[in-house]
Homo-oligomer: A and B are copies of this chain.
Amino acid sequence: MSAQQGPEQAVTMRDVAERLGVSTMTVSRALRGRPGIGEETRQRVLAEVAALGYRPNKQARSLRSGGPSELVGLVVTNLANPFYARLAIGLEEVCLRQGARVVLGSTGGDQAVEREVVADLLERGVDGLVVVPSGHDHSHLGGEQLRDTPVVLAAGPPMGIEADCVLVDDFGGTRAACRQLIARGHRRIGFLGLPPSLWTGSERFRGYAVALEEAGIALDERYVSRHRGDSALAEETARAMLVLPDPPTALLTANNRNTVGALRAVRAGGYPVALAGFDDIELADMLDVPLTVVSYDPAEVGRAAAALLYERREAAAAAQPRRVIVATTLVDHPRPRQVRDDSSF
């Protein structure tokens, strides 16, 4: 139980050593499988360690050795966003192979908080940082203050600093989706997106615009909306587009909230409109409205980020910044995603 009798001091290396009549160095060597110790001695030590239930203190170890803390910081706005949650899983998976764990740093999308979180994680001696940046200015993620701690940006390219990053193929995915709509005969395609100031807002719109251009379709501003709002606003916007004199026959939505809004608008109004959207939606197969989505694996973003982190450590620190793009696939009438994969709930 967590409630102990006495202060119950932690067992230290010295306790093990004294009991065996050896020095702490011998214990240390045995524990870490280092050479310079007899096989017999090693066994004796390990036995005593098990008997006493001794556990090395990793903080002290990394302090003395100057080695890695085996802690990697993950800075995101909000884990409730399944993208981040799944990114975290991928990150943890790869970090674990290196013996490292992930420390959470939620920012709530606040740039000032992000700075604090980064500073705090650095004080904790993390070996690296994976950041999904909230703003456009990334200067706090570079320069002196980081003291050699590698940083990998996720889902957005570095701005104002040099750093490795992992991106989703926002452009290619959106273009593919738009192409498919065009291939199915649509020429008036509405776009519900995000502000151009956001990377995803800019790239996904570019995918839309390029696909249109490649097909020789002129971009009609009446069919374009780029704002940062909730799904209610998206629904409103979609509805407004669908009652134009010459309404679009298809809607391309650049993110989840817009997709949900568009779905509602279409369903409520019963418009004969094709839908395609970036990002998967749960239970999409159960909706009455057929939907094509641009799908990708957020965990892969996390895995790639971790890989970059560790590769950077191997390489000369000053090597060229690398950029990894995670691919997307187009999915029709998407099948349900298994979201809850343990059976406790």
A134 to chain B, nearest CB (A): 8
A282 engages B279 (CB within 8 Å):
no
A213 at the interface (CB under 8 A from B): no
A185 to chain B: closest CB distance in Å?
26
From DSSP, what is the main secondary structure of chain A's interface residues?
loop
Residue pair A344, B80 in contact (C-beta under 8 Å) = no
Q: Which residue of chain B has its CB nearest to the CB of A315?
A: B3
Within 8 Å of chain B (Cβ to Cβ): is A184?
no
Interchain CA distance A219-B264 in the complex, whole Å: 40
Are the C-beta atoms of A59 and B124 separated by less than 8 Å? yes
Contact with B along A100-121 (1 / 0, CB 8 A): 0111111001000000000111
Could you say which residues of chain B place their CB within 8 Å of the CB of A77? 342, 344
Q: Are B8 and A147 in contact (CB under 8 A)?
A: yes
**Inter-chain contact A80/B89, CB cutoff 8 Å:** yes
Of A17-25, A148-156, A175-183, the one with at least 4 CB within 8 A of chain B: A148-156
With known contacts A105-B101, A120-B101, A82–B339 Cβ distance under 8 A: yes
Inter-chain contact A78/B82, CB cutoff 8 Å: no
Interface status of A272 (Cβ within 8 A of chain B): no
CB-based contact A53/B341 at 8 Å: no
Beyond A8-B148, A55-B119, A78-B341, 17 extra complex contacts between A and B, CB < 8 Å:
A1-B143, A1-B161, A2-B148, A3-B316, A7-B148, A11-B147, A58-B123, A79-B86, A79-B88, A81-B345, A82-B85, A101-B103, A103-B103, A109-B342, A231-B336, A260-B336, A282-B283
